[in-house]
Structures are given as C-alpha cells and as structure tokens.
Amino acid sequence: MPILFRLSAIFAVLTLFACTHPSPDPPICRVSNSLVQVQQNIDQQAQASPIAAACLIKANSKVLLVEHRLSGKFDFPGGGRGEGESLACTAHRETWEETGFNVEVSQYLLTTKNGLVLFGCQLDAGLESLPDKFEAPRWAQVGITGLAKIDPFVIDQNAMRFADDLIPLRDGYTQFVINQP
C-alpha cells in the first residue's frame, strides 16, 4: 500500500508539471527611437519609489486591458520593474507576459500617483480584428482571466482593479491619441 501511495503522489506531481504552460522567453525589448532619448530621464525621476510600468494599447476607440483572475477587474497590462531594467522595457516585458503581444513602447504618457509609469505602446498585429473579449495566452492564465478592448470613457471606476487608475486611463488615452501620427 505505501508503494502505491508513493507512485500515486509521483504520478500526480508529474501530471501537474506536464500540464502547466511555462512562459516562453520574452522577446527583445522594443522601444521607439524618440523614447530612447528621454528614457533615462524617466528612469531617474522614478528612482525615489518602488516602481512599475504598463502599456496603454489603443485599438480604434478602445484600449486593451487585462482582467485579473482574483478580482475580476480590469487593469493595464504591466507590472513590477526587474533588476537593472528600464521602465520602458518593464512595460514591454510585462505587457508581453500578460497579453502575448510584442508591442513597441513608443511614448511616455504619465505617472500615476501610485507610481505606475504609463507608456503608449504600438501594436501591429491586427488587434482591431479581434473580438472585444478574448483569452489571455496560456502562460498568463494563472493570474489573468482574459483580455478586453474597452472604451475608456464608458468604463466605470468600479470595474477597474484600482479605482484611482480611471482618470490616468482616460488622460493617457487622450494624450496618446493626440500625439499619434
């Protein structure tokens, strides 16, 4: 009986590892030339506090947001800064990890009062042709339920993971739209 129990436990562990979807290595950070020139200034200004970065990705008149598994609320694709990583590359990596999209970080938009640096990011992958709600990549599904294209002027602050991010969402969208070619 003890041997059967050990074999069952080993089989269960092997099954779990075989069924998980490891995250592929992230692509090389893509930052527009105009942003490279100001990136160091942004990074120096952010040295004073723990920092995170995110992307605002426009899809027609909507933005791409991630829906978190635990809260069911929406947030920017983004997250914490890695050791020695620029904020623009943090936004790129975190967006790729949560959405699977290899964006180009093209424009600094703003820093929220919570210390999240928001960048405008370009995506040339036909995002407009995808439905308004779709699945996150397999490797992101531990924390992310799905992805959604949402009108930033229709969403309610209660639908946001952090209610204080609604105004930065709208301000960032407006700034990004005005400054796009």
Q: What is the pLDDT of residue 34?
A: 75
- Domain membership of residue 21 (yes or no) is no
- Domain membership of residue 132 (yes or no) is yes
- Domain membership of residue 123 (yes or no) is yes
Element (H, E) at 63: strand 62-68
Specify the pTM.
Answer: 0.81
- Domain membership of residue 102 (yes or no) is yes
Q: Are 175 and 109 in contact (CB under 8 A)?
A: yes
Domain CATH for 140: 3.90.79.10
- Domain membership of residue 8 (yes or no) is no
Nearest to 121 by CA among 158, 92, 159, 99: 92
Domains identified in the chain, total number: 1
Beta bridge partners of 19: none
- Domain membership of residue 13 (yes or no) is no
- Domain membership of residue 40 (yes or no) is yes
User: Domain range holding 139?
Assistant: 27-179
Beta bridge partners of 108: 119
pLDDT digit string, tens, across residues 111-169: 998 889 999 999 887 888 999 999 999 999 999 999 999 999 999 999 999 999 999 99
Nearest to 119 by CA among 146, 151, 95: 95
- Domain membership of residue 85 (yes or no) is yes
